[in-house]
Every structure is written in structure tokens, then in C-alpha cells.
A and B are shown apart, each in its own frame.
Chain A
Amino acid sequence: EAQVTQNPRYLITVTGKKLTVTCSQNMNHEYMSWYRQDPGLGLRQIYYSMNVEVTDKGDVPEGYKVSRKEKRNFPLILESPSPNQTSLYFCASSLTGTGHGYTFGSGTRLTVV
């Protein structure tokens, strides 16, 4: 089944404790992206990647890192999480090109206390 798999689905952590949210897709998509969804603010892009070893900042990259060492994986790293990073995070992937829609993962609900 074609899908984007994120893990974990839920995570509660403490301020300053490094964490990684994994994202993997099995559709051979070149393009991958991370979003956060907050009430009243909609979906905001954190980072995206056009292909292996090619990543770039989205609208709200501060406090996050990403890597794209393999085509299928695009982990999101929070080196020192803070409470303002409490949010619902989505990974998405697609073929490159304006006519292609995204396939989203099921989301990771992160709480930083």
C-alpha cells in the first residue's frame, strides 16, 4: 500500500531533550516536506526536500533540523525542544511538479512540557 509512515503518533517530552520524528514513504517520491498544524494558524511548512541531499527552509524552520540521506526517509529533528513546539506535525511526499498532490502521513502529536 502506498503510504507515508510517521512515528511516533504521540510523544510527550521535556524541554531540551533531543528528539527525532521519523518519516518514510514507499512511493519513490522526490519531494518531501514537514508541516506543523496549530489551531487558528493552519498548516505551516517547516522544511522541504526536493531530492536526496537537497533540503531547504520553509516558513517556520527555527528550532528544527532535517536530513535527506535516502530518498524514502526524511526525519525531523528537534535538538532542544521548547513548549512552543507543542503541535501536530505532518510529513508529506509527492512527485515533483505542480500537478501532483501530496500524500500525508497520519501525524505526530508532540507535547513539550
Chain B
Amino acid sequence: GNSVTQMEGPVTLSEEAFLTINCTYTATGYPSLFWYVQYPGEGLQLLLKATKADDKGSNKGFEATYRKETTSFHLEKGSVQVSDSAVYFCALRSNNNDMRFGAGTRLTVKP
């Protein structure tokens, strides 16, 4: 079945550091890929998405590129801020409308 694997956390970075959170997927067909962010005490929010191979999703300085050849969708940000501290979830949505989530990666950014 379809599944998503993302790097285990927690990840702790200093402010202005470069962020990468790895995500790989297994899927049949042509899924869309997503990153969601969950701030403390809140629901998940859609951060960015890509719907086909080689698409790049971007939002709020975060980017991820849909790589079909490596079945990956790694999340990157060039310079993190304290306000980026949250849990990040990689997800895929397949043809049957099912959304599969990774386990989540907790990011803490220290001033």
C-alpha cells in the first residue's frame, strides 16, 4: 500500500540555519505530495504541495520538489526562525483520495 517515511526527529537548529527534513514515499499511480505544519495546540495546516513530477511547491520560504526518480519530497528552508518551531508532516494523496501521513518531525529553532 501507499506509505510515507520521513526523517525522525527531533531536529534542533539555531536561528538562521539551513533546514532539510527528508521524506520518501511509496505509491502506485500518480500521487500528489504535501507538507503540513502543526504548531503547538493547533490542527495541521497545509504548508505546500506538488501535484506532479518535478513540480516545486513553495510557501513562507519553505520549498520541496517532487522527485519521481528518487520517490522523494524533501522539505527545505534556507534560514529558519524561532517561529518555525513546529511539527512537520509529509503526506501523499493517491487516486482513491486517501491521504497518507508520515510520522511527523518535530523542529525546534533556538535563538
B22 within 8 A of A: no
Inter-subunit contact A43/B43 (CB<8 Å):
no
Number of interface residues of B (CB under 8 A): 23
Give the number of residues in A that approach B within 8 Å (Cβ atoms): 22
Task: List chain B residues, Cβ under 8 A from A34.
Answer: none
**Once the chains bind, are A99 and B46 in contact (CB under 8 Å)?**
no
Contact of B103 among A42, A45, A48, A97 (CB under 8 A): A42
Question: Does A106 contact B42, Cβ atoms closer than 8 Å?
Answer: yes
Number of A-B contacts (CB under 8 A): 56
Q: Are A99 and B101 interface neighbours, CB within 8 A? A: no
B67 at interface, CB cutoff 8 A: no
Q: Tell me which of A97, A98, A104, A105 has the highest count of chain B C-beta atoms within 10 A of its own C-beta.
A: A98
Looking at the assembled complex, report how far the CB atom of A66 sits from the nearest CB atom of chain B, in whole angstroms. Answer: 16
Q: Which of B55-100 contact A (CB under 8 A)?
A: 89, 93-95, 97-99
CB-defined contacts of B95 to chain A, threshold 8 Å: 98
Contact of B31 among A33, A98, A103, A105 (CB under 8 A): A98
Q: For residues 87 through 105 of chain A, which have their beta carbon under 8 Å from a beta carbon of chain B?
A: 90, 92, 96-105
- A interface with B by C-beta (< 8 Å): 4, 31, 33, 42-43, 45, 48, 50, 90, 92, 96-107
